[in-house]
Amino acid sequence: MKALVFEAPERPVIIDAVMPEISPNEVLVRTKAVGICHSDYELLAGRYIIPIAYPVTPGHEWSGEIVEVGRNVTGFAKGDRVVGECVVRTPERLHHFGFSLSGADREFFAVNPEWLHKLPDAVDDKKAALIEPFTCGFYAVLRSGGTNASETVVVSGGGTIGLVSAAAAIGMGARVIVVDPLAARRDVALKLGADSVIDPSDGGAVDRIRELTGGHGADLVVEASGHDASLASAFDYAREEGRVSMVGINIGRKVPVVLGQIQMKNLTVRGCIGSPGVWPAAIRFLERTGLDLSPIQTHDFALTEAVEAFAFGQDPTRSIKITLLNG
Reported confidence tier of residue 293, pLDDT bands at 50, 70, 90: very high
Regarding beta strands 108-111 and 61-69, do their DSSP bridges make them parallel or antiparallel, or are they unpaired? unpaired
171 pLDDT more than 90: yes
% of the chain with per-residue pLDDT over 70: 100
Ordered by start, the domain boundaries in the chain are: 2-130+293-325, 137-271
281 pLDDT more than 90: yes
Average pLDDT over residues 110-139: 97
Average pLDDT over residues 42-67: 95
CATH fold of 2-130+293-325, please? Quinone Oxidoreductase; Chain A, domain 1 (3.90.180)
pLDDT of residue 195: 98
pLDDT of residue 286: 96
Which residues make Cβ contacts (< 8 Å) with residue 73, sequence separation at least 6?
Answer: 24, 25, 26, 27, 113
Regarding beta strands 116-118 and 81-84, do their DSSP bridges make them parallel or antiparallel, or are they unpaired? antiparallel
pLDDT of residue 282: 97
251 pLDDT more than 80: no
Least confident of 4-13, 92-101, 171-180: 92-101
Average pLDDT over residues 147-173: 98
Average pLDDT over residues 286-294: 96
CB 161 within 8 A of CB 133: yes
Tell me if the bond preceding 280 is cis, omega within 30° of 0: no
Reported confidence tier of residue 304, pLDDT bands at 50, 70, 90: very high
90 pLDDT more than 90: no
pLDDT of residue 91: 87
Tell the CATH superfamily of the 137-271 domain.
Answer: NAD(P)-binding Rossmann-like Domain (3.40.50.720)
pLDDT of residue 156: 98
Q: What is the mean pLDDT of the chain?
A: 96
